[in-house]
Structure 1
């Protein structure tokens, strides 16, 4: 993570909690304590009013805030509830990205709203069935869909055969606690579906593909037509 991005993320973290320990920040951003101390000094030098308590941690002086983004309490509650639901899915990248988004939401809430959200956080429960083979690629796939970027994947088929593919990602859907990527497979020269929990390695290439006239509705209609044709033949 570049330093500017880390400094911004530290600022958001400081706004989302009353007190933040240096060790917590060091673990979160995978840097040394010395780096965190330098980052805190840089924020202080930039005019951010940061207080510190020995043995406790860092905090923002009351009255300082990022440019406001207004959320109602019900909107904040809905986002928190959605985060609990997302935690039950089997893709860790989605969970991580959503948690980062929730921290930014909490950072701009009033102190009274944060306290209410803490109460709600402790009183919402969703059953999380541990996935046997969790995935961690959805975030990359989503970005590649919007960037029209070719992905290289290492994939294990139902028969346990291992294969390497270049694919053009076109869409994703969630079913039976599993994310499925719909993509044009250059090896098979046709649309294919890939379970993200069977993708062992995923690489963003530098190659972009041409925009395809693709919608999920057309795709499913085409698949349903092929299914009916095979049944009747």
Structure 2
């Protein structure tokens, strides 16, 4: 059994039990030494798995990590890898870092044969596009504001060079025309508006919560782009 297979086996074993599991119990189950289990638990923790351990009691997964194990075919892994390379070409640094961490977790539990096959398929597929980092600036701040359901305030310069101060209820981010756009409800115009991120002069997340419950990304698309809902990827 490889280390990757052993790490997956430990996760599967812990997920199947509601009580803490002693290191010796895991060692007996996997036919390895207790010291090996200690090293494996440390490896899982470094990868972000929330394993709770208590001397004399044992190990268990926190409720947030009690997810069913997933299994991917080589075709599915190829699609994930290629999709990740596309996202990295246009995403903000925070999202790119999270993506790298997610892919590393997948690679760490892949059998060597699947890893080799993925690398073989990956070689002929290149992503040459790399957008200006200014086109994705503020994206992570906007995503945070959406998650927290808070308004944002920013200075905006339109295509004619006119600058205005806006307060907006952010609804989603759309990557279109080689640029990220913010879709939101503009309090100044009292209507939906779309803002290019590279035209934002500054951005501040306000303490003020969302003010409209009847507006949404889905409502915007149904009104203004009914044929494009499947073409946009909203974050």
Equivalent runs, 1:1-233 vs 2, <5 Å: 47-48=38-39, 69-72=69-72, 73-89=74-90, 91-131=92-132, 133-216=134-217, 218-220=219-221, 222-223=223-224
CA distance in 1, matches of 2:201, 2:122: 33
Q: Which consecutive unaligned segments of at least 5 residues does structure 2 have?
A: 1-6, 8-34, 50-60, 62-67, 226-235
Distance 1:83 1:223, change over 3 A: closer
Calculate the aligned-residue CA RMSD, in Å: 3.6
Distance 1:109 1:69, change over 3 A: farther
Deviation at 1:92, TM superposition (A): 4.3
Q: Number of matched residues?
A: 170
Secondary structure of 2:213 counterpart: coil
Distance 1:187 1:215, change over 3 A: closer
CA distance in 2, matches of 1:154, 1:96: 28
Distance 1:201 1:97, change over 3 A: farther
Secondary structure of 1:179 counterpart: strand
Secondary structure of 1:48 counterpart: helix
> 8 Å contact 1:88–1:129 — kept in the other structure?
yes
Deviation at 1:173, TM superposition (A): 2.3
> 8 Å contact 1:93–1:136 — kept in the other structure?
no
Deviation at 1:167, TM superposition (A): 1.3
Deviation at 1:132, TM superposition (A): 7.9
TM-score by length of 2: 0.57
Distance 1:122 1:178, change over 3 A: same
CA distance in 2, matches of 1:222, 1:75: 34
1:34-89 Cα shifts (integer Å, max 9, x gaps): xxxxxxxxxx9x94359xxxxxxxx96xxxx9688433222221110101222333
Deviation at 1:192, TM superposition (A): 1.5
> 8 Å contact 1:154–1:199 — kept in the other structure?
yes
TM-score by length of 1: 0.57
Deviation at 1:164, TM superposition (A): 3.5
